[in-house]
Structure 1
Amino acid sequence: MRGFAERLQGGHPNSLGDTVAVVEEILANNELFDEFFNCYFSDDEVVRLRTSNGMKRICKANKSLLLPYLDRFLDEISQIDQASTQWTLSQLFEVLVSDMSAGQIKKATRLMKHNLANHNDWIVLNQTMVTLSQWAKKDENLKNWIIPQLQRHSADPRKSVSGRAIKLLNTLDS
């Protein structure tokens, strides 16, 4: 049973729909990954949201499936103007960093810095702050860049954003 894009359509946007079953199919037959990856190019926002959710699940179970697609995540998927895609990229980059080249890390950092400086979605901000703060522990230039961003977000009226920023500032200051 294939036709992943069609299977990911419909229902309440916050529900998983058929995502878990699709992921299980891909994990059982890795050759299906490309078809699933291409669901990111659907015109349907719900399909893209569920594709992002599925990518996190696949990454957790078998991150090697995503590795050949790293450049496509950086060059193509990063261009999708959808919050769920952007926060998923931050989460994937955090897990995949040890498998990324220096150039890929540079591109990912540039994307996440842009998102942290310009995005307004609370989940994008939270996930991006986490990944960049993690990376900043090993990169003094990134640390110097992110501290003012975290200070700015520590005043965000949304408690999840401000609380996360304060917590991460404390981890970078120690």
Structure 2
Amino acid sequence: MEPFRMMLAGGHPNSLGRTLEVVEIVLDDPGRMDELFDCYFSEDAIVRLRTSNACRRVFKARPDWFPAWADRFITEVSAIDQPSAKWTLAQLFLEHEKRLTAKQRAAATAIMIRNLQEEDDWIALNMTMKTLQRWVKRDAAIIPRIEVRVRALADDRRKSVANGARKLLNAMDVPAL
């Protein structure tokens, strides 16, 4: 049995490598989800990137598994300073928001706000703003915590970031400056 950390290593960072194979193994043998999750703590950035992709695919196929893992994503994965971990969190929180408890939702909101404030990676920003775009409609208390940053991002040199910020501003329903 080949370890996942070996299966997810090597090759070009933009390729999936053997990610899909790992996903199938986990879906067939749920007991190996711990091994997949532990790959988040590899020294290899490519392994961590592919771990994010694999976890998202596993939870897409088996959304009922996410609640058992949500706390670990909130506490452990949120501490990883890698854009792919941050954009995966935004995706998972958005896709599984109804499976989050109120406490988890509050923690996830704090993570999304922190990532919006601190991150510069365009994918992480776009995914975070997409999640917040839905969440501000249900929780207006988020708006004062992000408005200044979102306004700044609306003028970002990267078109996708600026467009994402404008959509978020629209969802926030704040007056124009």
TM-score with structure 2 setting the length: 0.92
- Tell me if structure 1 keeps the 8 A contact 2:78–2:89: yes
Fraction of identical pairs, as percent:
46
Residues 30 and 65, structure 1, Cα contact 8 Å, conserved in 2: no
1:16 aligns with 2:42: no
- Distance, in Å, in 2 between the alignment partners of 1:17 and 1:113 is 32
Is 1:148 aligned to 2:148, yes or no? yes
Q: Which residue of 2 aligns with 1:64?
A: 64
What residue in structure 1 maps to residue 131 of structure 2?
131
SS of match in other structure, 1:81: coil
Asked whether the equivalents of residues 52 and 88 of structure 1 are also in contact (C-alpha less than 8 Å), the reply is: yes
3-state secondary structure, aligned to 1:91: helix
Give the match for residue 170 of structure 2: 170
Query: How far is the alpha carbon of 1:172 from its aligned partner?
Result: 3.5
Who is 2:82 aligned against? 82
CA contact (8 A) 2:132 2:168 kept: no
Q: C-alpha deviations, 1:21-55, integer Å up to 9, x for none?
A: 11011112212111111111111110000000111
Query: Could you tell me which amino acid in structure 1 is paired with residue 30 of structure 2?
Result: N
Task: Mark the runs of 5 or more structure 1 residues left unpaired by the alignment.
Answer: none
Matched residues in 1 for 2:7 and 2:104: separation?
A: 32
| Helix, strand or coil at the partner of 1:24 | helix
- For the 8 Å contact 2:87–2:128, the answer to whether it is kept is yes
Mapped contact 1:90–1:128 kept (Cα < 8 A)? yes
Gaps in structure 2 of 5+ consecutive residues: none
Match of 2:42 in 1: 42
**Are 2:75 and 1:52 aligned?**
no
In the alignment, which residue of structure 2 is the partner of 1:118?
118
In the alignment, structure 1 residue 103 sits paired with structure 2 residue 83? no
